[in-house]
Chains A and B, each alone.
Chain A
């Protein structure tokens, strides 16, 4: 059985495991629990690659996990957010951030 990396305790976020929900990452359906962050759900689902860097297109995933470093930026429902600080929602559409965010 594969080892599941699910964050259950966090130094800056309070985590209360809610009911099971579903969201989408790059068109893949992923199960999550209400109350956990996008990053917690992605890590548990085995996703390690969240975005590509602007200059060289290098792969980036979770790094500091406390909202400091911006390594885990993703596009969630058309907004650029830190996956480690943003709570996942039922039906949320999450995409990899490729390059610099476009806002207009």
Chain B
């Protein structure tokens, strides 16, 4: 039996970043519980992109704060995270996309994102290897970037450990300890898969793909659903393009990582809800087909690895952050819908502030689960 101020369920980038920020703010009696290994879930399997081009002002602001932290993160944590500020290039192939891009870019510029619309010719100048046939317009933000998700997670964890945070690796939380005090639930701790109980004043659900299941352990209903997303990487090549490129039309994103491999993912619209992360040959075929349309020079390049991870989708494709009415001591940072890694530095800091009862440095109140009470706003459509 152990006592902690805070227990964090999930050793992904969110859990480790919250732990680091709590310890940095002086709270050191913190435990992170990870059932497999740090970054083994969605974090370590993700594409690693970091963008500020979003469809609502609040999302843009949150992403901008995240980029500000990423820009100095290697210095702050004293670790290499393969940060590459190569920008994001989004391609519009349809009239609807073109209209949406124009609206989004106007909104993003109003908030201060250094983004601009570029012609297909300019897109070709930014990435000469790109096939721009059919591109109506593109939006380009040079301060977006990408980094290595595992390295970021490990760097946060190392620094949290240095500050006194405990990590329990290879143990799974199987239940919550919740008291009923006059109709109000109060969280007391968690039960591990070996039967051991760990008591805590506050518990954070940062369980990624398994957020819904973990929520239920505390009697909390979370409207999230997980979907498999497959991804692959080619053999290393000399760097030949900088930005992460997205074509929503192709359901494809791709970037060149620091070691030189081209990482690419295809969001299959026919994928059914599940937490499985196996690979299929069908994906490799479709991915190859789609990428050769966009970047024909990859024709003779070999694929060296293929894998999959989970998108923990929320009803409006935005994270669900904060407390839950009627369950004291319970916090959640879930439903990141495929963009948890890029938001982690800002969300991690804001969640830590929230858990310490401070004002958050950036507004995240709009991401409370309470937003779904009046129906779902689906204005943030730009997710792949």
Q: Which residues of A contact B (CB under 8 A)?
A: 54, 70, 79-80, 99-104
Contacts and interface: CB of A to CB of B under 8 A. Distances in A.
A73 to B, nearest CB: 9
A24 to B, nearest CB: 21
Contacts of A99: 238
User: Counting chain A CB atoms within 10 Å of each CB, which of B128, B237, B298 scores highest?
Assistant: B237
29 contacts: A54-B236, A54-B260, A70-B235, A70-B302, A79-B300, A80-B300, A99-B238, A100-B236, A100-B237, A100-B238, A100-B260, A101-B236, A101-B301, A102-B237, A102-B238, A102-B240, A103-B129, A103-B237, A103-B238, A103-B240, A103-B297, A103-B298, A103-B300, A103-B301, A104-B128, A104-B129, A104-B240, A104-B241, A104-B297
Contacts, number: 32
Nearest to A100: B238
Interface residues of B, number: 14
Contacts of B297: 103-104
A102 B300 CA distance: 11
A101 B240 contact: no
A100 B302 CA distance: 13
A101 B298 CA distance: 11
Nearest to B298: A103
Contacts of B260: 54, 100
A49 B323 CA distance: 62
Contacts of A79: 300
B140 to A, nearest CB: 19
Nearest to B260: A100
A38 to B, nearest CB: 15
Nearest to A81: B300
A79 B237 CA distance: 13
A92 to B, nearest CB: 16
A79 B299 CA distance: 11
Interface string B223-243: 000000000000111101100
Nearest to A78: B300
A54 B298 CA distance: 19
Nearest to B304: A70
A80 B235 CA distance: 11
Contacts of A103: 129, 237-238, 240, 297-298, 300-301
A25 B236 CA distance: 24
A50 to B, nearest CB: 16
A46 B42 CA distance: 49
User: Counting chain B CB atoms within 10 Å of each CB, which of A79, A102, A104 scores highest?
Assistant: A104
Nearest to A70: B235
A54 B260 CA distance: 10
A21 B359 CA distance: 77
B145 to A, nearest CB: 21
B316 to A, nearest CB: 39
